[in-house]
Amino acid sequence: MNLTIFGAPGSGKGTYASRLQTKLGLSVVAMGDIFREIMKENTPLSRKVKRFVEKGLLVPDDVVVEVLKEHLAKIPKEKGLILDGFPRTVDQAKMLEAITHIDAIILLTVPDWIIIERLSTRRICKNCGEVYNVRYLKPKVENICDKCGGNLYQRPDDTAQVIKDRINVYERQTQPLLQFYRKKKMPIVEFKCEKLEMPPEVAVEEILKGLKRLSLI
């Protein structure tokens, strides 16, 4: 089973994807994490990516797809995946069709006020990238990651105005994508969050119920 997960920054994509990974035995393919890792390497592909990133330019779609292809080649064919952060444009969605089949979309719908509150209280592990929240998803030891013992930090762009701008960018990008997939009759499992302190397990169970209704699990 191959899924892609859509949601504004702070909607819970990474948190839910990691839990679905455990429950369904899927590989999470987070493009942001992949790019951070590839930037540490010294390969022809990583040098190509760095040329754009270091100039502050968007990495072109063909290069993004090349990075994705290289990563997917490392995943056993019998293992499904959850794409997080791809596709971001209709052109990328069309390119994705040539690489792999997507069985369903998970769509996270979260009000802006909840996203702003979540992100402004979010903390991330510097070492492994695990996500916490100082209000409702606290680590056992303050500012220390439960998983690896790394230090937690707050992203500099997790401020109210920047978050609003990021939500607007997401909405502009995603509406054409959803129209593209709806025209293709792609199954969509939508989870609407209406409470700030919604335990991740509740959201994940609702998503699993949606996948069961589609007979995917």
Active-site residue, selected from the candidate residues 19, 88, 118, 123: 88
Q: Quick check: is 192 catalytic?
A: no
Active-site residue, selected from the candidate residues 48, 50, 69, 166: 166
Q: Quick check: is 122 catalytic?
A: yes
**Cα–Cα distance between 86 and 31 in angstroms, integer?**
7
- What is the phi/psi pair of residue 133, to 5°? -140, 130
Active-site residue, selected from the candidate residues 19, 118, 122, 123: 122
- What is the phi/psi pair of residue 66, to 5°? -60, -45
Q: Quick check: is 135 catalytic?
A: no
Nearest CA-CA partner of 39 in 22, 20, 19, 59: 59
Q: Quick check: is 172 catalytic?
A: no
- What is the phi/psi pair of residue 75, to 5°? -90, 130
**Cα–Cα distance between 172 and 27 in angstroms, integer?**
28
Active-site residue, selected from the candidate residues 13, 19, 118, 123: 13
Residue 82: Cβ-neighbour burial (10 angstroms; 0-12, 13-18, 19+): buried
Active-site residue, selected from the candidate residues 79, 155, 182, 192: 155
Contact yes or no for 124/131 (Cβ under 8 A): yes
164 CA to centre of own chain: 18
Q: Quick check: is 166 catalytic?
A: yes
Strand partners, 107: 6, 190
Q: Which residues are catalytic?
A: 13, 88, 122, 155, 166
